[in-house]
Structure 1
Amino acid sequence: MYTPPPVPYPVAAPAWWQVLGPGFAALIGLFMLTVIYRFDGMSEIQRDLALSNQSLLLVGLVAYLAGAVLTVPIGLLAGARVPTVAGICATCFLLLGVVLAAFAGTGVLLMLGRAFSGLGTGAAAGATVALILKLRQRRGVVAGVTVVLAVLALGLAPVIGQVISEATGYRMNQFLAIPFLLIALVVNGVIGLVRLTAAKRPAPPGPSGVPYPPAGTAGPGWRPHSGGSAPGPG
C-alpha cells in the first residue's frame, strides 16, 4: 500500500501585531537617544554634570550609537528566530541603562548607562526589522508606520525632555521611561505567550483527513492530497 510522503509545511510567517513587542522597545530607545539634548543651548544634564560639548558628544551620543551598532546584527538574527526573547532582552538592557543614567553623578557612569541603553535599542531595532521583513501581509503599511513613529520619537524627545528637565531636572526624563519599559516587557511577554499558544493549537482536518496547515503558513501552491496522490502545485 502506497503511503504518501509527509507534506512539508512552510514556516509560519509572523502576524503584524508581533512587531509591537520589539518595536515598542525600539521606539523608547530612540526617544531616549535624543531626550538629553535641546535645540536652543546647553542641556540640563550637561550643566549639572559639568560636561563640555565634546564630553557630551562622547558620553551621550557616541557611547549610545556604539552600543546600538554592536547589537543590531544580533537583533536581526534573534528577531527572525526568537523575537520574544530578543524583545525581552533588549528591553532589559534598556531598563538597566536608563536606571544607570538616572543615578549618574559623573560622566563615566552616564556613559555606561548610555552604552547599555544603546545595546538595548540596537537589539530591539534589529528584531523589529527582522519581523517586518518576514511579514507576508501589510509589510509596507507596518514599515511605513514604524518609520514615521521612529522619526517622531527622535524629533519630539528633545522638546519633551527640555520641558520636563526644566521643571523637575534631567533625571526625571530617565525615571519616566521606566514605567514604559516595564509595559514593553509585559507586551513582549504576552505576545510570546500568544505565539506559543497558537503554535500548539492543533490544525483542523481537511476534507480527506489531512490537517490543514496553520493559518498563514500555506504557500500558494499547497493543497491537501487525497487518494494517495502527492501534493502538487495549484
Structure 2
Amino acid sequence: MYVTPPPQSVTRPVATPAWWQVLGPGSAALIGLFMLTVIYRFDGMSEIQREFHLSSQSLLLIGLVSYLVGTALTVPAGLLLGARFPTAVAIPALGFLFFGVLLAALADAGGLLLAGRALSGLGTGAAAGATVALILKVRERRGVLAGVTAALAVVALVLAPVIGQLISEVVGFRVIQLVAIPFLFIALIANAVVGFVKLAAAKRPVPPVPYPPAGPAGFTGGPWQPGA
C-alpha cells in the first residue's frame, strides 16, 4: 500500500529589510543630528554660551565632545542589532534623546547640560547605527536610499544652527530644546507603525511544501514489498 511521507518542516526564509523600515530609526537619527549642531551659530557666540558664561573651550567640551562620545558608544550596538531589531533599537534611542533634550532645556549648570548632551548622543548613535545597518541590508534601491539619507543628514546638520539662532534670539535657547520633543513623539509613532507592519508581515502563513504525487492506481508497494 502507498505510505504517506512524513510531513516536511516548513521554514520561513529570512527576509531582507524593506526600504520603508529605514523610516523608523532614520527619523530618530535625523532628529539627533539636528540637535547636535542646534546649539551653535555661524556668526558669533551662541545663546547657550551666554546663558552659562561658557568659554569656547567649555562649549566645545560640553556641547560637542560629550555628544560625540555618547554617539560613539552606541553606534556599534546600532550596527550590530539594527538590521534585525530596528524598532527595538530605535525606541530606546528616542528615549535617550527625549531625556537628553529635556535635561538640556531645564539645566541650570554646565554639568546638567553636559549630561543632557551625552544622553542625546547615546540616542543619536544607536539610531544612526541602526539606520546604516538597515541600508546595508536593503537590496532594492540601496544606492538611492543611502544618497537620500545622507543628504537629509547633511541638511539637518547645516540648518540646525540657523533655525536654532532664529528661535533662541526670540525666546531663548531652552525652547529650541523643547521644540524637539513633539518631533520625537512623531518619530516614536512612526517606529511603532513600522514595527507593527513588520510584525504583521512576519506572521503571514507560509504555503506548505506540496507532497510528491502518489503512485499509479493499483500500486501497493515497491518491488521488494508483498503485492508488487
In the TM superposition, residue 226 of structure 1 has moved relative to its aligned partner by 5.2
Higher mean C-alpha displacement, 4-13 vs 55-64: 4-13
Question: Which one of 108, 111, 127 corresponds to residue 108 of structure 1?
Answer: 111
Tell me how far apart the structure 2 counterparts of residues 101 and 7 of structure 1 sit (CA, whole Å).
52
In structure 2, runs of 5+ residues without a counterpart are: 215-228
Question: Which one of 156, 168, 191 corresponds to residue 153 of structure 1?
Answer: 156
In the TM superposition, residue 171 of structure 1 has moved relative to its aligned partner by 0.5
Tell me how far apart the structure 1 counterparts of residues 95 and 134 of structure 2 sit (CA, whole Å).
20
What are the within-5 Å matches in structure 2 for residues 203-222 of structure 1?
Answer: 203=206, 205=207, 210=209
SS at match of 2:79: helix
**Could you list the runs of 4 or more consecutive aligned residues of structure 1 that deviate by over 4 angstroms after TM superposition?**
1-9, 225-228
Structure 1 length normalisation: TM-score?
0.86
Tell me how far apart the structure 2 counterparts of residues 186 and 29 of structure 1 sit (CA, whole Å).
16
Aligned twin of 1:14: 17
Q: Does 1:196 align with 2:196?
A: no
Structure 2 length normalisation: TM-score?
0.88
In the TM superposition, residue 10 of structure 1 has moved relative to its aligned partner by 3.0
Question: Which one of 161, 166, 186 corresponds to residue 163 of structure 1?
Answer: 166
Aligned twin of 1:232: none
What letter matches 1:199 in structure 2?
Answer: A
- Residues 28-70 of structure 1 show CA distances to partners (whole Å, capped at 9, x for unaligned) of 0000000000001000000011111010000000000000000
On the 8 A contact 2:8/2:209 being kept in 1, the answer is: no
Q: Does 1:97 align with 2:100?
A: yes
Q: Does 1:36 align with 2:36?
A: no
Aligned twin of 2:123: 120
Does the C-alpha gap of structure 1 residues 85 and 5 become closer, same or farther in structure 2, counting only changes over 3 Å?
A: same
Aligned twin of 1:72: 75
Aligned twin of 1:216: none
% identical aligned pairs = 69
**Structure having the higher Rg:** 2
Aligned twin of 2:137: 134
Question: Which one of 157, 182, 197 corresponds to residue 179 of structure 1?
Answer: 182
- Residues 53-112 of structure 1 show CA distances to partners (whole Å, capped at 9, x for unaligned) of 010000000000000000000111120221111010111100010000000111110000
Give the number of aligned pairs.
Answer: 211
SS at match of 1:164: helix
Q: Does 1:46 align with 2:49?
A: yes
Aligned twin of 1:217: none
Tell me how far apart the structure 2 counterparts of residues 62 and 150 of structure 1 sit (CA, whole Å).
19
Aligned twin of 1:56: 59
In structure 1, runs of 5+ residues without a counterpart are: 212-224, 229-234
SS at match of 1:71: helix
Tell me how far apart the structure 2 counterparts of residues 101 and 78 of structure 1 sit (CA, whole Å).
28
On the 8 A contact 2:104/2:113 being kept in 1, the answer is: yes
SS at match of 1:123: helix
What letter matches 1:97 in structure 2?
Answer: G
